[in-house]
Structure formats: C-alpha cells, structure tokens
C-alpha cells in the first residue's frame, strides 16, 4: 500500500500554479459525447478520477488522445452497456446518464461510487431526467434508463445539487423545447459546463443563478475549451501557506471563485493579497478561531471543510465547524486527534479547540479532501508523519508532492 512520509516543520515558500478543476472536467468529459465533432480540452491534469472517466468513454467507443495534458476526443459511441467496475469508482460517472440518454436513447450504467462521505443518493438526478421523459429503473448494482424522446420541462430541485443540475442540463441541451431548472446549483463548475456546451452551440441561459433556462438545439459542433482553475486545490494550498511559516503565491486562480475561502482566511487573521489571477498567502502563528458552516456556493465549500479544520487545530481559541452538505464528512477528525488536535464531534458539528502544535503520527486518509487535510497537518507538525490511503488524495491533487517539494516541504511517496 503506498503512503506519504512527511517530515513536518519545514517552512513553505514559493509559487504554485493551480491546475484545471477536476470537478469541472468530469462533467465536460461526460457531456463530450453529445457531439459527433472533435472535442479538445486543454490543461487537463491527468488525475486518477479523470483517467477513469477517460477509460469509461473509451469503453463506450470514443477515441481519446492525450498530449501534454491536452485531450482530443472523437466522441464515437458503440457501446451503451456500461455496467462495469470503473463506473463504481467514480461519483461523476452518473453524469453519463444524461449524455448517454441524449445520444443513444438507452443506457445501462453501473452504480456511481466516489468518496465515502455520506449516502450520496441520486434521486434528484432521476427525478429531473424522468421529468424530461426518461424511464429509469434502479436494479441491484446498476441503472437502466431509456427515453424515446427527451422533452424540455420545468424541473424544481429540492436541493441545489451540483451533479443533478449538471445531469439535467446535459440531457436538456439536445431535448425538444425549453427546460427550466429551478433551485439549480450555482457552483462555478456548473457555469463552466454551461460555457463548454454553449461553445458547442447549446443555448443555456442563467447558469450561475438559481434558474437555468435551456433551449434545445438539434446538434452540437466541435469545440476547443479550457476549463476553470480548481478552486479547492487553490484553497488547499492557501491552508498550507497559512500554517507552514512562509508565504506562497498561488497563480491561475479566479478570485471570484475563491472569495468565500479568502473571506474566512482574512477572518482568521491570515494575510491574503489579491492580484488579478493570483493571490499571495502569508503564514502567521496567530491564527484566530472562526466558525464555519458549509453551504452551497457562494457559501463556504464543503470540499474545503477538512483542509480548513487542519488549520483551525492550531488557532488561538475555539472554532465551530458545521457540515451541512454531507452527513459523513468528518473522517479526518479521528486522524487529527492522533496528532494531538483537540476536537469534539457532536453529529454534524465539530468543536475545534486550538492547540499549540500538532505532533507526528501514523495516519490513514479515508477520503479525498480529508486526506488533503492530513497532508496539511503533517506539514506543520513536529516530527515524521506517515499517511496511508493516499490513493484517495491522488484522485484530486495533481503533482502534489512535486509542488510541496518545490515549496521547500519534505514529502516522499513510498509505493
Ligand atoms: C459535487 C462535487 C463534490 C462536492 C459537492 C458539493 C463533483 C464530481 N463532486 O458532488 O466534490 O463536495 O458537489 O459541492 O463535482 N443529493 C441528494 N440527491 C441527489 C443528489 C445529491 O440527496 O440526487 C445530496 C447529496 O447526498 C449531498 C448534497 O445533495 O448531501 C450535495 O450533493 P451534490 O451537490 O449533488 O454533490 P455532487 O454533485 O455529488
């Protein structure tokens, strides 16, 4: 089993360039089969999750080439029975429901997987696609869906689910007539998907607001596209910068997308200087405690809850962290306790009492963002920390060790 060995306490300073967002690229890949034209996506960090989606598309019949982190897709589909293991490894594979229904009228899809951070139902996806005319049957371990014809409709989402908004948007683009998604997710990744589809000739209006209007078109054409930078990768390096003694410049960010994170950092007495597409974050040993409640965008992102909590373990006082999006997203807490953190869990609330320093321990990453939180904790802790389960972390952070080493950190991957 591979693991990280991290020698904590090194000062981190320098500059890091953020990669394109995994969570923006996955829906784009799923949606690429809506056209028969070529799809080029630039700046793709070839993370494990992205590799899995690429393999699934190849299994369906797409021809995909990769050079220098640019993907060229020839979106051919010959196989719409994708009840295969790869699908179970990825939450975003559920987005193939919308695109395959649109392209093939029928799909058999394995159950989506992803991080173990809650039950992660897909009822909102199913409700929305059913409204558009799909018949969906959930079998033991797989989904069967068909739609003679997809037709535009009004869909109200009980919760602004990112994935459900994306799935319905994907299915609606080539549907007949007008689709309106109400209480839609407003996350930047949703807007990025809409921009991608619009660059192919789709007619999507209002992405980024809670009402998205989609006018069905007959056909989509070829496209070349650069996805948005990863706001969670940026936030993770911000947390590292805050606790590791130096100052880090983080380039290739969209300030507006990380505004909710910057605001919390400033509240914690962390100096953040904003440039046009870059920020600089300065470390301090006087981190102020704060309260965090995860919320849909533009609230504080649930994906930043764990990295932020690592930072708050050494704040000067007591912070309260409330997780409202996923019910099982505190898997990192038990590991942080092993390092001497003082955290009390009560359901969806974590009370974090700041301690002076964390100490090294043997840890296990249990999910992607929780794993990143442990890397941050290990980088600031005294001594040498071992983190197992790092396959979770590799799903979402491209060239993490290379970046940390370039900043002056001491990290080794043992395979
Ligand atoms: C996406 C992100 C994930 C992020 C999350 C919230 C990707 C690949 N993943 O996940 O990193 O943490 O947004 O910002 O983009 N829900 C239902 N029924 C559904 C769908 C969702 O009850 O049909 C619930 C979920 O269980 C969860 C909440 O809604 O409690 C939010 O989920 P959602 O916004 O759909 O997240 P994902 O798209 O899965």
Distance 295 CA to ligand 1 centre (A): 11
Q: How many alpha carbons lie under 13 Å from residue 177 in its C-beta half-sphere?
A: 10
Closest residue CA from atom 13 of ligand 1: 162
> Looking at residues 55-62, what average pLDDT do you find?
96
What is the torsional sign of CA 327, 56, 46, 381?
positive
| Nearest-angstrom CA–CA distance, 401 and 413 | 8
Residue 311: DSSP 8-state? H
Model confidence band, residue 141 (pLDDT cutoffs 50, 70, 90): confident
Closest residue CA from atom 31 of ligand 1: 161
Closest residue CA from atom 12 of ligand 1: 303
Structure tokens at 42: 């630039």
pTM over 0.95: yes
C-beta neighbour count of 156 within 10 angstroms: 12
Alpha-carbon dihedral of residues 238, 244, 246, 250, nearest 10 degrees?
-20
Would you say the CB of residue 166 lies under 6 angstroms from ligand 1? no
Q: Kindly state the helix (H) or strand (E) to which residue 250 belongs, with its residue range.
A: strand 247-251
Task: Read off the pLDDT of residues 322-359 as tens digits, 9 standing for 90 and up.
Answer: 999 998 899 999 999 999 999 999 999 999 999 999 99
| Nearest-angstrom CA–CA distance, 291 and 61 | 48
| Nearest-angstrom CA–CA distance, 303 and 142 | 27
Residue among 232, 187, 282 nearest 393 (CA): 232
Q: What is the b/e burial string over 321-348, where b = at least 16 CB atoms within 10 angstroms of the residue's CB?
A: bebebbeebbbbbebbebbbbebeeeeb
Beta strands 3-7 and 63-67, pairing class: unpaired
Alpha-carbon dihedral of residues 16, 1, 82, 219, nearest 10 degrees?
10
Instruction: Give the mean pLDDT of the chain.
Output: 96
**Does 269 score more than 90 pLDDT?**
yes
> Looking at residues 161-189, what average pLDDT do you find?
98
Q: Kindly state the helix (H) or strand (E) to which residue 40 belongs, with its residue range.
A: strand 39-41
Would you say the CB of residue 127 lies under 6 angstroms from ligand 1? no
Tell the residue number behind the tokens 């405690």, with chain if given.
Answer: 289
Structure tokens at 168: 């319905």
Distance 165 CA to ligand 1 centre (A): 10
Distance 266 CA to ligand 1 centre (A): 27
**Does 165 score more than 80 pLDDT?**
yes
> Of the residues 30, 115, 130, 161, which should be mutated to test ligand 1's pocket, given the most ligand atoms within 8 Å of the CB?
161
| Nearest-angstrom CA–CA distance, 21 and 396 | 9
Would you say the CB of residue 124 lies under 6 angstroms from ligand 1? yes
Model confidence band, residue 114 (pLDDT cutoffs 50, 70, 90): low
50: phi then psi, degrees, rounded to nearest 5: -70, -40
- Please identify every residue annotated as catalytic: 115
**Does 172 score more than 80 pLDDT?**
yes
Q: How many alpha carbons lie under 13 Å from residue 205 in its C-beta half-sphere?
A: 6
In this prediction, residue 327 carries a pLDDT of 85
Distance 139 CA to ligand 1 centre (A): 22
Residues above pLDDT 70, as percent of the chain: 99
Distance 52 CA to ligand 1 centre (A): 19
Residues 410, 10: contact at Cβ < 8 Å? Answer: yes
Residue among 217, 195, 197 nearest 31 (CA): 197
In this prediction, residue 116 carries a pLDDT of 67
Residues 383, 407: contact at Cβ < 8 Å? Answer: no
Would you say the CB of residue 92 lies under 6 angstroms from ligand 1? yes
Would you say the CB of residue 302 lies under 6 angstroms from ligand 1? yes
In this prediction, residue 117 carries a pLDDT of 61
Model confidence band, residue 1 (pLDDT cutoffs 50, 70, 90): confident
Residues 133, 150: contact at Cβ < 8 Å? Answer: yes
**Does 118 score more than 90 pLDDT?**
no
Ligand 1 atom closest to Cα of residue 303: 12
Would you say the CB of residue 159 lies under 6 angstroms from ligand 1? yes
Would you say the CB of residue 151 lies under 6 angstroms from ligand 1? no
Burial bucket for residue 253 (CB in 10 Å: 0-12, 13-18, 19+): buried
Distance 406 CA to ligand 1 centre (A): 33
């Amino acid at each position: 089993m591979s693991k990280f060995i991290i020698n904590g306490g090194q000062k981190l300073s320098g500059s890091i360039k953020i990669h394109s967002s995994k969570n923006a690229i996955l829906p784009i890949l799923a949606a690429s089969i809506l056209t028969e034209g070529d799809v080029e996506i630039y700046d793709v960090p070839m993370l494990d999750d992205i590799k899995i989606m690429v393999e699934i598309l190849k299994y369906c019949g797409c021809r995909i080439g990769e050079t220098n982190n640019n993907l060229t897709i020839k979106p051919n589909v010959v196989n719409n029975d994708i009840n295969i293991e790869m699908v179970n490894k990825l939450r975003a594979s559920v987005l193939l429901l919308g695109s395959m229904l649109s392209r093939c009228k029928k799909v058999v899809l394995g159950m989506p997987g992803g991080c173990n951070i809650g039950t992660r139902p897909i009822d909102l996806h199913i409700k929305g696609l059913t409204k558009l005319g799909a018949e969906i049957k959930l079998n033991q371990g797989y989904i069967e869906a068909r739609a003679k014809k997809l037709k535009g409709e009004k869909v109200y989402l009980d919760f602004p689910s990112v994935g459900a908004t994306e799935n319905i948007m994907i299915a609606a683009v080539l549907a007949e007539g007008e689709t309106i998604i109400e209480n839609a997710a407003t996350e930047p990744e949703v807007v990025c998907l809409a921009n991608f589809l619009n660059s192919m000739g789709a007619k999507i209006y209002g992405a980024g607001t809670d009402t998205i209007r989609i006018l069905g078109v007959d056909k989509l054409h070829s496209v070349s596209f650069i996805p948005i930078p990863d706001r969670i990768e940026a936030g993770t390096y911000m947390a590292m910068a805050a606790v590791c003694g130096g100052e880090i410049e983080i380039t290739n960010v969209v300030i507006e997308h990380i505004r909710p994170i910057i605001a919390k950092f400033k509240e914690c007495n962390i100096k953040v200087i904003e440039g046009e597409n870059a920020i600089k974050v300065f470390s301090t040993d006087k981190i102020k405690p704060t309260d965090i409640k995860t919320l849909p965008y533009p609230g504080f992102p649930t994906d930043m809850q764990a990295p932020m909590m690592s930072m708050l373990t050494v704040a000067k006082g007591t912070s309260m962290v409330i997780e409202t999006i996923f019910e099982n997203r505190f898997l990192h807490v038990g590991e942080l306790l092993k390092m001497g953190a003082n955290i009390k869990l009560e359901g969806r609330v974590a009370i974090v009492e700041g301690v002076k320093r964390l100490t090294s321990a043997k840890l296990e990453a249990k999910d992607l963002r929780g794993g990143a939180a442990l890397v941050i904790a290990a980088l600031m802790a005294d001594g040498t920390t071992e983190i197992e389960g790092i396959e979770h972390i590799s799903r979402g952070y491209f060239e993490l060790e290379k970046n940390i080493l370039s900043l002056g950190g001491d990290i080794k991957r043992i395979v």
